[in-house]
Structure 1
Amino acid sequence: MTRVVISGTGLYKPEHVISNAELVASYNAYAALQNAQNADRIAAGEVEALPESSVEFVEKASGIRQRYVMHKAGILDPQRMRPHYEPRPDDQLSLMAEIGVAAARAALAQAGRQPQEVDAVICAASNMQRAYPAMAIEIQQALGAGGYGFDMNVACSSATFALEQAINAVRSGSAQRVLVVSPEITSAHQEWRDRDCHFIFGDVATALLVERDDGQPSSTPRWEVLGTRLATQFSNNIRNNAGFINRCEDTDPGARDKTFRQEGRKVFKEVVPIAAAHIESHLGSLGLKPADVRRYWLHQANEGMNQLVVRKLVGGSAGGDVAPLILDEFANTASAGSIIAFHLHRDDLRSGDVGVVCSFGAGYSVGSVVVRRV
């Protein structure tokens, strides 16, 4: 069987940072405005007053302490509560493609490859800024890559699902090298006016280069792919109803269901056992046990969720050496989270060490990639 490796990763990080204190102050100002405007209805019991948020609530609920965003002022404006982007003409590189290209170039540089050596580009993200043409094809053109490109959306599992497609393409011989790019502008589909989720997301872009191992010495460490596994199970507990049918339904395009929403407690209760069982079963199919794994790079949605997944697998705790956390700095970056963890926390592993990249989220969906340092 063809040996496939991950030879490079890249990360694009926006320049703007929003701290929890800034975010909470903005949300509380918005809540105060709404409560003042609806004072009579609140007094009459027709609507409930919006509760305040707090830094303590945010950090206890998630472990998140800040997030990077593409546009800060609009999010923190109590009269707006969403980013503001100027529309771009069709002949200008789109926003998602722009940050995707930046991450892709970083991955190629790390791998010591040129864009012309790439045979395929997969753009894998939790949302796309347009229906067509595919973001991947725009990224492909901007890079100067060859072959083909296509988009994938499996919410927070998009990157691992795309990794399997990339790995299979290389194994089958249809491509020598495939870029998986995840430009996640989650701030644009986050609901900043909802106390239960206004702190969850951040913006970022990641990229990975998957290629056939040519057996030649490399100046940078490579990671052999031992196996991949994907699974889905339908659930409405994480949902976003924004789509092209909306305009035909004569509904409010700004309605609450047109942005991210979730039943957080249900998601926590149901996804943790699904993810832990998935990883253990996948490892077992490769003749491995959870204790054989040197590091877990898990989806970065919630600190408590990752703690439970790791406890079920190895009896330890997330963070530090076993399952590093990056959500305190980046927040939930959807499909990019586990890739950021892999990008930032792998250089200390030794040849032969085994690791698992695993993402899980809306769908429900879960994807795992077992790797070994060459």
Structure 2
Amino acid sequence: MIRRAALKGTGHYLPARVVENSEFEKWVDTSDEWIRARSGIERRHFAAEGEKTSDLAVHAGRAALENAGISAGDVDAIIVATSTPDYTFPSVATVVQAALKTGGYAFDVQAVCAGFVYAMANANALIVSGQADRVLVIGAETFSRIMNWEDRTTCVLFGDGAGAVVLEVQEGAGDNADTGILATDLNSDGTYRDLLYVDGGVSSTQTAGVLVMQGKEVFRHAVEKLAATAETALGKAGLTADDVTWIVPHQANLRIITRTAQKMGVPMDRVVLTVQDHGNTSAASIPLALSVANAEGKFKPDDVLVMEAIGGGLAWGSVVLRL
């Protein structure tokens, strides 16, 4: 028997303020029709003044613990994936740890939109190696704080939110019929860092900066790399696209999601979609989608899920998990 990291609970939180596409028409040259055609996004949520990334993360984490039926005291580790932390330091994860009153240890992972996939791979490694039995993994972002509100090509795409999962150790036989994470695949290529970045930082400008993106180039890389990483992870698990029950993709752009599914040969009725309601919430998008789909009763025991994401870095990866 071997140790597996099984999904035991999901949770999410969205700020109260809902921003419809039409609101952007007040200050940039855009329209609801243009945004929908470009991205599939209809609305997104923005954090309230004073509402921090850690606040969103705490709400989502608490919801995931409740869904899993475990107490905060049962958590051995917290991993938060974010690119919009409250502070330069300490980590958002330690702020969450204090708020939830868990023990163990806590740290952040920064891989932009691929952050949740990276965090899941790290949590899996901690559980498989015996360094933790239960890990709370959270993706949380307040991307509205780093938008260039004069750039119509980017400011309409992003939103704020948080999603969380509880992973718990479970014994498995060591084959792909096991419950839990069956395989992960992580990649990065820093030569593409100028395609998607924030033009500020502690050691460069001493400012937070704003997001800059070469949209066409990111789109091209996204479709190619997302399909490839998903197929690689499935291969590691000894599975194929025919075995996939649900793709839970990074919710960046409906066109990217559709093209990736087509490239994998997976029909869209097996793809979880929330981009229309949340926009691109970066590291929060996959756990948000997981939690929404779970709350809607989409998932069943023995379903095979593929999560895949790409973000600035470029960093990309995927996780294959059996429920």
User: TM-score by structure 1 length?
Assistant: 0.80
- Secondary structure of 1:10's counterpart equals strand
Q: Is 1:356–2:312 an aligned residue pair?
A: no
Q: How is 1:200-349 mapped onto 2 (pairs within 5 angstroms)?
A: 200-213=157-170, 224-234=180-190, 235=192, 236-247=194-205, 253=207, 258-314=209-265, 316=267, 318=268, 321-346=269-294, 347-349=297-299
Aligned to 1:65: 42
Give the Cα separation in 1 of the matches to 2:196 and 2:275: 19
Question: Once structures 1 and 2 are overlaid, which stretch shifts more, 118-127 or 293-302?
Answer: 118-127
Instruction: Give 3-state SS (helix, strand or coil) of 1:156's partner.
Output: helix
CA distance in 1, matches of 2:128, 2:64: 20
**Paired letter, 1:371:** L
* Identity over aligned pairs, percent: 32
Count of residue pairs brought into register by the alignment? 313
Please report how far the alpha carbon of residue 183 of structure 1 lies from its aligned counterpart in structure 2 after TM superposition: 1.9
The root-mean-square deviation of aligned C-alpha atoms, in Å, is 1.8
CA contact (8 A) 1:127 1:153 kept: no
Residue 57 of structure 1, CA deviation: 1.1
Question: Runs of 5+ in structure 1 lacking a partner?
Answer: 29-51, 72-84, 87-93, 216-221
Offset at residue 315 of structure 1 (A): 5.4
Q: Say which structure is richer in strand.
A: 2
SS of structure 1 residue aligned to 2:270: coil
Q: Deviations along 1:182-214, whole A, 9 cap, x unmatched?
A: 221110012222111120111101111111127
- Higher Rg of the two aligned structures: 1
**Is 2:12 the counterpart of 1:11?**
yes
8 Å CA contact 2:54, 2:85 repeated in 1? no
Alignment of 1:106-255 (within 5 A): 106-213=63-170, 224-234=180-190, 235=192, 236-247=194-205, 253=207
Give the secondary structure class of the aligned counterpart of 2:305.
Answer: strand
Q: CA 1:100 to 1:350, structure 2 compared with 1: closer, same or farther past 3 Å?
A: closer
Q: Distance in 2 between matches of 1:158 and 1:372?
A: 21
2:183 is matched by which residue type in structure 1? G
Contact 1:62-1:304 at 8 Å conserved across structures: yes
**Relative CO higher for 1 or 2, CA cutoff 8 Å, sep ≥ 6?**
2
Q: In the alignment, which of 303, 316, 321 is matched to residue 366 of structure 1? A: 316
Secondary structure at 1:296's aligned position in 2? strand
Cα distance between partner residues in 2 of 1:181 and 1:223:
21
Moved more, 205-214 or 107-116: 205-214
Specify every segment of 5 or more residues in structure 2 that has no aligned partner in the other structure, as ranges: 173-177
